């Protein structure tokens, strides 16, 4: 069993949304833990693990993937080793067709020792977590990756609010493209998200459509001190 799991809570207000749940883990890594966890992985996953250059990255992948298998297995009523995953065109993992009846969807995000696992029934879901930190080139990154409207909102923030605003924007954009499954093939200027500290997490626009009718919803989470996260989930089953 991979240790230390807690349930995430919504950042500003408790979530009234029972359409998804998020599990936060901060596993204690080590060779012994990773060796035990590796027994739950598929051959392909063990091969992927063997390609990591650094032991710590390898152990983090093994333990994180084993935990994903345990969490999926508990929801499917099967054994972790029996869970079969497939990958979308841009690498998004999903359950294999033989689990289609469960309609279980999931997504995963890691940052440092924090991993978030988001689950929903019948609705596509994306999650992203980041540590809030000061980046020397944050303004340049915002200029390159944020949309015009997001950039204006970011530059209007007080200096002291920028690190949080930056990572709120980053995680919200990532969660959206991870829900779509398209990775960075989906242009980041094609949609706007809210980012200002204290304002609700929202998709403001997707292409020409106002966020409120775009078919996706967003929630912000504080999964651990110093970290921000966002979840995006499809509106309808």
Ligand X SMILES: CC(C)(COP(=O)(O)OP(=O)(O)OC[C@H]1O[C@@H](n2cnc3c(N)ncnc32)[C@H](O)[C@@H]1OP(=O)(O)O)[C@@H](O)C(=O)NCCC(=O)NCCS
Binding interface with ligand X (CB under 6 A): 61, 64, 90-93, 107-110, 126, 128, 145, 170, 173-174, 177-178, 181, 183-184, 188
Angle between helices 138-145 and 162-180 (to 10 degrees): 40
Q: Measured from the CB of residue 7, what is the shortest distance to ligand X in angstroms? A: 19
Q: Measured from the CB of residue 109, what is the shortest distance to ligand X in angstroms? A: 3
Which one, 13 or 28, has the nearer CB to ligand X?
28
Which one, 181 or 234, has the nearer CB to ligand X?
181
Q: Measured from the CB of residue 154, what is the shortest distance to ligand X in angstroms? A: 11
Which one, 13 or 47, has the nearer CB to ligand X?
47
Q: Measured from the CB of residue 183, what is the shortest distance to ligand X in angstroms? A: 4
Which one, 15 or 126, has the nearer CB to ligand X?
126
Q: Measured from the CB of residue 95, what is the shortest distance to ligand X in angstroms? A: 12
Which one, 15 or 92, has the nearer CB to ligand X?
92
**Reduced 3-state DSSP string for the chain:** CCCCEEECCECCCCCCCCCEEEEEECCCCCHHHHHHHHCCCCHHHHHHHHCCCCHHHHHHHHHHHHHHHHHHHHHHCCCHHHCCEEECCCCCEEECHHHHHHCEEEEEEEECCEEEEEEEECCCEEEEEEECCCCCCHHHHHHHHCCHHHHHHHHCCCHHHHHHHHHHHHHHHHHHHHHHCCHHHCCHHHEEECCCCCCCCCEEEECCEEHHHCCEEEEEECCCCCEEEEEEEECCC
């Amino acid at each position: 069993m991979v240790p230390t799991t807690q349930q995430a809570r919504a950042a500003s207000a408790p979530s009234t949304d029972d359409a998804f749940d998020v599990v936060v883990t901060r596993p204690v890594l080590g060779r012994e833990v990773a060796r035990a966890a590796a027994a739950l992985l598929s051959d392909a996953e063990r091969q992927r693990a063997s390609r990591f250059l650094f032991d710590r990255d390898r152990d983090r992948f093994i333990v994180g993937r084993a935990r994903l298998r345990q969490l999926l297995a508990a929801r499917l009523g099967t054994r972790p080793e029996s869970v079969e995953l497939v990958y979308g065109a841009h690498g998004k993992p999903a359950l294999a067709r033989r689990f289609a009846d469960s309609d279980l969807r999931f997504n995963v995000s890691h940052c440092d020792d924090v991993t978030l696992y988001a689950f929903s029934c019948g609705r596509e879901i994306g999650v992203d977590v980041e540590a809030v930190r000061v980046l020397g080139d944050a303004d340049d990154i915002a200029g390159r990756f944020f949309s015009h409207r997001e950039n204006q909102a970011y530059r209007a923030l007080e200096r002291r609010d920028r690190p949080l605003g930056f990572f709120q924007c980053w995680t919200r954009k990532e969660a959206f493209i991870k829900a779509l499954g398209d990775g960075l093939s989906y242009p980041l200027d094609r949609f706007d998200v809210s980012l200002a500290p204290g304002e609700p997490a929202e998709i403001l626009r997707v292409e020409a459509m106002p966020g409120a009718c775009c078919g996706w919803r967003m929630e912000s989470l504080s999964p651990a001190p110093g970290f921000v996260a966002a979840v995006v989930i499809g509106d309808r089953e």
